[in-house]
Chain A
């Protein structure tokens, strides 16, 4: 009956998310709760995604006030909002065509906002210049990444394009690559050493695909997702040397740059390190770095705004990149406004600054406490081992599954850690992600959950997890 059943192999080969089966189970559980079915919990805690608001973190007041005023400019006339909110909204509305957030924005982002983004980058990198012409804004950083990958991946070449990607790696990038028909070349992060990136492993990965595909790019995530590592300066230098030597385009996913908690960890951008290395590296290594309004303490995932900054990219190719962004990728205006606030927050002396500072500090304290608690609790429990979460939004501990459970999962045609997570939703009302979603060493299992939650939620998460694990291990002993 259906004529439309032939699908391109690229799409067919894209991995289906493990999440789907977990989401289905969660929906069932939520419905049962609504119908009054008695369970050992009264609500489901969803920490599957890097979504702070979903987990209970409150939005930052300043950005929301600015958004409200931009949406409904009548608010500019009243005193309900502080003067700096109104001034900011007024300035941003003037940057919009027709003074409305409902108009299309210029192809690659509202120029005033690209300007602010470039100023933010320059300041962040201690003065390394950043130019708005090299910045493209899109509905989320993954959209920018997909556009850049689209330019890199040649579907007509006789040898397929390959991109080096970390294991573990968040799933969206992998699926994106597969959908384009690119070859994913995995390089394993070193879990025992805190998920560090080792150049020897990059070398091995590259060698393994000699003649099999044409590697063109290296994708790194710093701070890591799901790994939680914040790369050292030395490690970043090594990566830069590597891509230069091997002639690879460097894709640096830095969306978690504002989520750094480790006491000794410090985020330094790939661009900054590249600049510090000086010529010839600094004028030859081609780099795309990605950031987003979805992460950091603002956590505005639903607004969909991210950007890419391109460094040392061929100007003619830039024209085509610009073309791609302008044809397919208009970023929503509200998201761009959130990006502006992220890169240009209230400053000391501004009326909104005290509240902004307070909220930021509260979130920071919460997160620092959370990662500490996660590390201590999980590492004291039999069956878990967790590397320190220096940065990012997730914990990614190893879980030790009893052989009988692994067997049962395989019989059910499921990955063992997915099986574990399914049971966890049903029995403990906790929705997290299985490690197989991100890639892991053979015969190891992990779970990933978001650590950007209120403190008491984190306490509850750890309680449910450990209670469940004890029961689970007992059942399958």
Chain B
């Protein structure tokens, strides 16, 4: 094959991705100087909705962080020794240890010859056998049904019943998914229809986890923003929901209301009363409720408790429990497991019409099935070692340690950030992030605007370049006009977190002074 062809086959490296630079389509000159023909798939012919997809958590600032890491590894001198990626809710990446029992069972499931190995505890072995028996050909390499392995769905149902104090759960309402994100996107696909002013509108909290806005953009649905109340610890106010809904009704057909509880990026844990109010609101306004509860075990603050939407719904009596349509989502990526790489998750769907369920089945079949190791892991999460079992002590120790460390870090983060003039941080009641408000001096805002950057992106980029700390600007999650925030995870190990918080403090003071 000739050299010219080889050269032409090397794709141009992606241009480095600050928000100010955009690659322009250029016509390719081939080796002999002739213009090559226009492509079939171009920026003009491609699906326009795909162009609207943005996902701040892995956006331009992360790409720059990766570049910096590479530069550091190549020996380039920087004002910092390492890049700290406090942008993504990835516990293991930050050194959190997996739950031993879970990994033992999964190893046994992967390579059953290990069942004869005496170093594995008996309960891990019996669990592995049980899981393998529910897999086709006794292998995790078989497809499962699209809805997920039946015995796993049954175990999930039992878990939900226990969690919710006995409120019944039908395994047929449980759908295992490829992470909670897959379930959320699939439900949105199901919900979105209509044209023009009848186009489906979906209410999402501001600030929000940008998967929602990305999915809505991609589906061409209407995003209806309702603002959480920063002054009241990011609480959800019904009047604000009403305002957002009433305005939206003028230009779209609002059908769903999404809540993240515990919240991302805000960390607030909704009170029971608030959840009841939301349910009443959804019932009155005939909205489908989507309750993203992936952080349900991550609750730290005194007096805060996780109340599942399902439980509260049923405790409100048949007037609500038989009518309000609800999907709640959970995942193996967060809580005390932190197993993001498994892509395990489930959704429970309440009061969905059977015909609609049939349509949902079609959408799920396109994915064939969720990853079986993730399903196996979910089975262990909902059905962990019990008192008396050989692995129980260790399990409880590991789980408690992880959760209490997170609680400490949540507290520490709030405390330190609140000592900084120009930074104010609401209590991190739950989840894995802090979302402090930052004051950006006018001069900095001006310089950012001149560069075509949003002020908090400008701030975060500067912080990255000067300290190596990668955060996500609040603009990636949404915030009230004229306010600025950043999202930082509380996941780095405590000693690193302390360093990180000090560096943030120093940077903020320096930045404020530089632009005063």
Contacts and interface: CB of A to CB of B under 8 A. Distances in A.
B397 interface: no
Contacts of B37: 280, 284
A335 B371 contact: yes
Nearest to B9: A129
Contacts of A282: 5, 8-9
Interface string B132-143: 000111011111
Interface in B129-175: 135-137, 139-145
A249 B325 contact: no
Given A104-B341, A302-B135, A327-B214, A134 B189 contact: no
Contacts of B42: 314, 316-317
A65 B58 CA distance: 32
A276 B367 contact: no
Interface stretch (B358-366, B379-387, B482-490): B358-366
Interface in B308-358: 322-323, 325, 337-343, 351-353, 355-356, 358
Contact of B41 (A51, A280, A314): A314
A332 B366 contact: no
A174 to B, nearest CB: 10
B43 interface: yes
A279 B5 contact: yes
Interface in A3-31: 3-9, 11-12, 14-17, 20, 23
Nearest to A156: B48
A457 B93 CA distance: 45
Candidate in B54, B181, B363, B371 with the most chain A CB atoms within 10 angstroms: B371
A330 B343 contact: yes
A98 B95 contact: yes
Contacts of B30: 279-280, 283
B325 A3 contact: yes
Nearest to A271: B9
Contacts of A298: 141
Interface string B366-379: 11111111100000
Contact of A134 (B2, B11, B286, B370): B11
Interface in A266-299: 275-276, 278-280, 282-284, 286, 298-299
B142 A53 contact: yes
A403 interface: no
B288 interface: yes
Contact of B341 (A6, A65, A102, A302): A102
For chain B, the bracket of interface size reads 35 or more
Contact of B140 (A107, A131, A302): A302
B147 to A, nearest CB: 10
Interface stretch (B107-115, B292-300, B471-479): B107-115
A314 B39 contact: yes
A51 B138 CA distance: 12
B250 interface: no
Contact of B23 (A98, A151, A172, A316): A316
B365 A172 contact: yes
B448 interface: no
B50 A2 contact: no
Contact of A318 (B11, B48, B353, B369): B11
Contact of B107 (A6, A71, A275, A330): A71
A323 interface: yes
B305 interface: no
B341 A332 contact: yes
A300 B191 CA distance: 33
B286 A3 contact: yes
Nearest to A75: B107
B94 A153 contact: no
Contacts of A105: 341
Given A5-B356, A97-B90, A151-B41, A328 B46 contact: no
A146 B144 CA distance: 20
B111 A68 contact: yes
A144 B130 CA distance: 32
Contacts of B20: none
B341 A333 contact: yes
Contacts of B481: none
Interface stretch (B98-106, B399-407, B453-461): B98-106
Interface in A103-133: 103-107, 127-129, 131, 133
A352 to B, nearest CB: 13
Interface stretch (A54-62, A199-207, A257-265, A417-425): A54-62
B92 interface: yes
> Chain B interface secondary structure, helix, strand, loop or mixed?
loop
A179 B374 CA distance: 26
A154 interface: yes
B339 A102 contact: yes
Given A14-B362, A98-B92, A133 B356 contact: no
A43 to B, nearest CB: 12
Nearest to A101: B341
A447 interface: no
A98 B491 CA distance: 12
A69 B23 CA distance: 43
B208 interface: no
Contacts of B189: 11, 179
Contact of B53 (A175, A327, A330): A327
A459 interface: no
A301 interface: yes
Contacts of B54: 323
Nearest to A125: B1
The CB with the most chain A CB atoms within 10 A, among B58, B218, B368, is that of B368
Given A72-B104, A332-B373, A51 B90 contact: no
Contact of A98 (B94, B181, B215, B372): B94
Given A59-B139, A319-B23, A68 B365 contact: no
A448 interface: no
A105 B45 CA distance: 31
Nearest to B58: A326
8 smallest beta-carbon distances between A and B, as pairs? A54-B136, A8-B193, A302-B372, A333-B341, A97-B93, A72-B107, A2-B353, A53-B139
22 contacts: A3-B325, A4-B288, A4-B352, A17-B365, A53-B136, A128-B9, A133-B14, A142-B368, A146-B366, A151-B50, A172-B368, A216-B45, A217-B40, A284-B39, A286-B39, A302-B141, A303-B141, A304-B368, A314-B25, A314-B42, A316-B25, A323-B50
Given A304-B369, A320-B43, 15 more contacts: A14-B363, A98-B95, A101-B342, A102-B98, A104-B93, A133-B14, A150-B218, A278-B2, A282-B5, A283-B9, A284-B36, A302-B135, A303-B371, A313-B39, A328-B218
